[in-house]
Structure 1
Amino acid sequence: MAGKMLRNRRKAAGLTQKQLGDLIPLSQAMIAGIELGNEVPGAENAQLIDDAVGADGELAAAWHHVRKDIQQHSAYPIWSHGYLSAEVEATRIQHFANIAPGLVQTEDYARAIISEGVKLFGGDVEEKVEARMERQGILTGDDPPWFWSIMDEAALYRVVGGHDVMCGQLTHLLDLAERSRTTFRILPFNRQIPGGVTSIGALLLLTRPGKNEAVYWESGINGAFLEAPNEVAVYRAFYDHLELDVLTPQVSRDLILKAREEHHAHCTHH
């Protein structure tokens, strides 16, 4: 998109690729690559190109978003990239996991989980934390998706990052539960996960306008993004059965509060 815009602006300015490159300076091959979408200029060169073709900041802004998207995707495994693109389109996100979902994790909670993952799989902790925090913006916009999360009761008690971190995370869940489009429900210990499943990483079902329902699942070491109706149907049936055994939002809220006050009683976030 930005490449095509550049080509149109360059031609309107009466410049060849070489002439534009000489103004920056960049090689003609680089300008050609940028126009084809195979190359993305850095912030400084993006602004110089924008000025040279009189784009009034439009091109620089477009490339800024492209670089941001690339950076965010690089912080996540390849199998999740389809999900990340679909997440921003979703009007409803349904979630199930045994930890707090990424979209509502506090920075401290996310850092504790990501730090442990980096020990095994590598990567930059702060880059991954920043990417996760930026994703959360979809829940705070003018028209956020409906976000319905089911958490295994273990998520309330397993200590991630220490009791202070847990207290902050559970407090955050309680605050978010006040929003009209965000709901948390707990699958209690005394109820079984459907289908004979004994554990699961994370499962998300996405409703998107004009598209098939999609599924994303991950276990920490692998995952998949699925759109084929026959594959999605299996996970939809699993989630529908799961909903039959979860606690109501109000009872779930009371349990989250109880876990915070009793299990993480020494925290400093009261």
Structure 2
Amino acid sequence: MRKYRNRANITQDRLAGIIQFSQSLIGFIERGERTPSHNFMQRYDDAVHTGGELVRLWAHLTRGASPRWFRNWLDIEQEAHTLHAWEPLYVPGLLQTEEYAITVIRGEPGISDAQVEKAVTARMERQAIFLRSDPPMYRVVLDEGVLQRPIGGKKVMHRQIERLMEAAESSRIGIQIIPVALGVTTGLLGGFAIAQISGSPDKVYIESATNGHVTDHPEDVEAIHRRYDALRATAQPQHVSTELIREMEKLWT
């Protein structure tokens, strides 16, 4: 970044005025002490006229913040026209607020502040797929306990529930809730996601306590589809689920 800035004969102070970020933040990022957002990098790239080179390098940087076993899924996620997900314990990454994501990621034993920052940045940038001109359809089934678990405390949960309400207003996103009172046990062993890609077999991502598993093996895909279909059949209709989420918003106010 510094090489391109110097080549463009732009000081940090002048650059700060152009891209509307502080000079101190520019310094931190150029020294590798902070992870830039996509917005920052795009403005920086435009200001120093690299023709998108820094944005491309940034994409590799944020991709590297994700575990190796998850990077294949990131590519699949980008290609999918439809994504389905089940989560029994927490809000899926594609719908998390930054504060909620920080709390979840900090739960990894031994993780450093720098690693948290990079992982959160990568998670937030994944959500950019919903800003595309052709965003994927996203269908999510959540256990009601996800809405009740106080991850990050009242303020964080209130904003997270608001985020779910905002997402539910999109014609491309559907959220269904399985009430705790039903005592459903299907899927309690862990979350999973299904990606549907034109001209390609479905692929699934299966969570575990250590490394997630990505596969398009027909038997695995069929087994996950069966579980998802069973869960979705048990879940409340979308309009009822939206009311459940709205009630939970009052709980965290």
Letter of the 1:231 counterpart:
D
TM-score using structure 1 length: 0.71
Letter of the 1:139 counterpart:
F
Number of residue pairs aligned between Structure 1 and Structure 2: 210
Give how far 1:220 is off.
Answer: 4.4
Give how far 1:198 is off.
Answer: 3.5
Query: Is the alpha carbon distance of 1:183 and 1:228 closer, same or farther for their aligned partners in structure 2, counting shifts above 3 Å?
Result: same
| Rounded Cα–Cα distance in structure 2 between residues aligned with 1:199 and 1:108 | 26
Q: Percent identity?
A: 29
Letter of the 2:122 counterpart:
A
Q: Find the counterpart in structure 2 of residue 64 from structure 1.
A: 54
Given candidates 63, 77, 91, the residue that maps to 1:87 is 77
Letter of the 1:234 counterpart:
A
Alignment pair present for 1:177 and 2:168: yes
| Offset from partner CA, 1:194-247 (integer Å, 9 cap, x none) | 2xx5431x2110011111100012234221111122221111111111111001
Q: Find the counterpart in structure 1 of residue 3 from structure 2.
A: 44
Alignment of 1:134-173 (within 5 A): 134-173=125-164
Larger Rg over CA atoms: 1
Query: Is the alpha carbon distance of 1:157 and 1:91 closer, same or farther for their aligned partners in structure 2, counting shifts above 3 Å?
Result: same
Q: Does the CA-based 8 Å contact 1:193-1:242 persist in structure 2?
A: no
Given candidates 213, 216, 228, the residue that maps to 2:205 is 216
Give ranges in structure 2 of 5+ residues lacking alignment: 8-48
Give ranges in structure 1 of 5+ residues lacking alignment: 1-41, 49-58, 266-270
Q: Find the counterpart in structure 1 of residue 240 from structure 2.
A: 251
Letter of the 1:244 counterpart:
A
**RMSD, aligned CA:** 2.3
Give how far 1:251 is off.
Answer: 0.9
Q: Find the counterpart in structure 1 of residue 193 from structure 2.
A: 204
| Rounded Cα–Cα distance in structure 2 between residues aligned with 1:253 and 1:43 | 48
Give how far 1:45 is off.
Answer: 6.5
| Offset from partner CA, 1:41-96 (integer Å, 9 cap, x none) | x6736997xxxxxxxxxx95464344223212221111111100111111101011
Q: Find the counterpart in structure 2 of residue 233 from structure 1.
A: 222
| Rounded Cα–Cα distance in structure 1 between residues aligned with 2:6 and 2:204 | 39
Given candidates 101, 117, 124, the residue that maps to 1:133 is 124
| Rounded Cα–Cα distance in structure 2 between residues aligned with 1:68 and 1:224 | 26
Give the secondary structure class of the aligned counterpart of 2:184: coil
| Rounded Cα–Cα distance in structure 1 between residues aligned with 2:2 and 2:215 | 35
Q: Does the CA-based 8 Å contact 1:147-1:181 persist in structure 2?
A: yes
Letter of the 1:86 counterpart:
I
Q: Does the CA-based 8 Å contact 1:205-1:215 persist in structure 2?
A: yes
Give the secondary structure class of the aligned counterpart of 1:148: strand
